[in-house]
Structure formats: C-alpha cells, structure tokens
Amino acid sequence: MVYLPDHHRPAALPDELAREAADLAESTAARLRLEIRELDTVPAQHEAAGLFCRIWHADSPDQLINRATLRAMQHAGNYVAGAYRDGVLVAAAVAFFGVGHLHSHIAGVDPAAQSGGIGYALKQHQRAWCLARGITEICWTFDPLVRRNAYVNLHKLGGRAAAYLPDFYGEMNDGINTGEATDRLYLSWDLLSARARAAARGDVRDVDLAALRAVGGAVLLDRTAAQEPRPAAVPLDGRPLLVAVPDDVVALRERDAAAALAWRRPVREALCAALDAGYRITGMSRDGWYTLEVAR
C-alpha cells in the first residue's frame, strides 16, 4: 500500500475520470504492441538505469540516476515504470512526488525506437497512474532547443510551459549535456484540462502559423538557411511572436557542436524577454517555431 502525505492528497476524483485515463493508456499501449508496467524488481531497475545510459550517452548511471536511488524511489511509492516490446525494455520513466504534484525527473526511449509514439504511450500510463492516486498535475523540465520534445509536450500531451529556467541543473557531464548550459522550460501538465483530455483521445491541435502572421505575428528570432540564429528587433507590444529553434538540434550537436551551442543564448534571450513582457508560450509548430501571445 502506498502512503501519501496529506499534501499529496487532493480532493477525491470521480471514478470515471481515472477509468477513462486507464482505458486510453491501455489502448494506446496495445496499439503500439507495448506492455507498460512498474519496475518493482532490482534487475528491472538496473536494466532501466542501463537504458538511460545508452539514451544519454553516459558512462555511468551515477551521471543520471543511480540504481540504489531507483530502488529507493520505487519502494517509497514513487513512479518507476518501463515500456516493453516483445520482452525488450524500450523506454523508462522515473518520477517523484512534489508538493501537490508528481515531478517527472527522467524519461527516455531507446534511440532505435524513437519517433514511434512510445514516449507518448509511457506518458499516458503515467497520467493514468497519477489519476488513480488522486494526483492531477505532473511537472517536468525539457530542453527548449529540442523541437520534437517541445511539440510533444505542448501539443501531443497538452501541457503548458510555465517558466524558463536558465542553466537549471548547472554543469552536467552525461554525454548529451556536456559543455552546454542546461536551460530548461518548466512544463505543467494539468491532467484534467480540456487540452490534456483531448490529447489523450488523440485530438491534437497544431499551430496555425499562417493565421498568426495574418494578425500581425512577428518573428522575434529567425533562423538562416544554414541553421544559424538571427535575432530581430521587434517591439514587444502585444502582437503574437515567433521564436525559431533548429530543425534538429540533436543532429546538429553531432554534426557541429559549436553551431548547436550558438543557439542557446539567442533562444534564452528571446523567450525570457517575451515572458518578462507578459507573454506566454502557446505552442510549437512542427517545423520549429515557438508561438507566444500576451497572457490573458
């Protein structure tokens, strides 16, 4: 039996909401031929630690989350789960309880199986797991330069970018993040919001860039044909804004690390300036444009 302190106990939810989330999560996993389950044995937890190392190109689990911590977190009732296909672990996620929410600390998909919906399925399992326990919000951080993660988080899941956190983790040496400032966007996923419920049913609304430009949307940060950032002098006067990121910063890092590093500060400056001026991030287009509008 899982013990939850009082600050983890929101008002009881109607049973049908938790059942709906569980049914949607199960159907999503079945469609992708996945078995998603909690990792409640030491061998399974060690396997997850090894998977994280492969995903992040880390030399040791200690650079990410070590095996003993995984064991302790799962035993204490936190979320430690994995997705299997044909008996092979292809994704894993670890989350712990914060004050009134679940904080999703690390989640990843085997590079050989990415872009196939596995991460989305694991998140739907996490959503159902939370709602079964009366938890209605999950939060996590993600790199604002990674276009595909921003699109999934803001659209396929229906989350909300709540804050920009410059160099949030400080220096890291896990392989992927080595040598970079660890800027992150802080995501709040309201599990019962209309956006999250629609996204769980597969109803995803993409950004309409043409419509934003038609009402005066302006480019605050552009990109050149050579994938270089190009800031623009645009007044923050309430018009919708567009901020570019690289098409694929992960591939760019492998091809030209310096070119990838050159994006960090311009994106930070553009997004933080807009957020400080009263804007909020409203979406990410499939081709790599953050959209921002004045908060209402």
- Determine which of 33-42, 57-66, 91-100, 243-252 has the lowest per-residue pLDDT on average: 57-66
Is residue 94 within 8 Å of 78, Cβ to Cβ? yes
Instruction: List pLDDT tens digits, range 259-274.
Output: 999 999 999 999 999 9
C-alpha span between 204 and 196 (Å, rounded): 9
User: What pLDDT shows up at residue 125?
Assistant: 98
Q: Decide if 162 contacts 187 (C-beta within 8 A).
A: yes
Say what percent of the chain tops pLDDT 90: 78
Is 269 in a helix, a strand, or coil? helix
* Residue range 59-73, pLDDT digits in tens: 888 888 999 999 999
pLDDT at 9: 47
Q: pLDDT band at residue 214, thresholds of 50, 70 and 90?
A: confident
- Mean pLDDT, residues 72-86: 97
Question: Above 80 in pLDDT, residue 176?
Answer: no
94 and 65 within one domain:
yes
Mark whether 168 and 79 lie in a shared domain. yes
Contact assessment for residue 138 and residue 98, using Cβ atoms and an 8 Å cutoff:
no
pLDDT of residue 127: 98
Report helix, strand or coil for 38. Answer: strand
Which has the closest alpha carbon to 166: 145, 151, 148? Answer: 145
Do 37 and 163 reside in the same domain of the chain? Answer: yes
The CATH number covering residue 195 comes to: 3.40.630.30
Confidence (pLDDT) at 5? 44
Q: Say what the pLDDT of residue 174 is.
A: 59
User: Are both 21 and 167 inside the same structural domain?
Assistant: yes
Kindly state the average pLDDT of the residues 225-250.
Answer: 94
Within this chain, do residues 247 and 267 fall inside the same structural domain, yes or no?
yes
User: How many domains does the chain fold into?
Assistant: 2
Among residues 167, 200, 233, the one where a domain terminates is 200
Give the residue from 82, 95, 97 showing the smallest Cα distance to 43: 82
- The amino acid at 155: H
Whether 195 contacts 158, CB under 8 Å: yes
**Of 102, 158, 94, 162, whose CA–CA distance to 130 is shortest?**
102
Residue 126 resides in a domain: yes
Domain containing 222: what range? 209-294
Residues 192 and 90 reside in one and the same domain:
yes
With a cut of 80, say whether residue 4 has pLDDT above it. Answer: no
Backbone φ and ψ of 182, nearest 5°: -95, 60
Predicted local confidence at residue 109, as pLDDT: 96
Q: Is the pLDDT of residue 84 over 80?
A: yes
Specify whether 163 is located in the same domain as 289. no
* Average predicted confidence (pLDDT) for the chain: 92
At 175 the pLDDT is 53
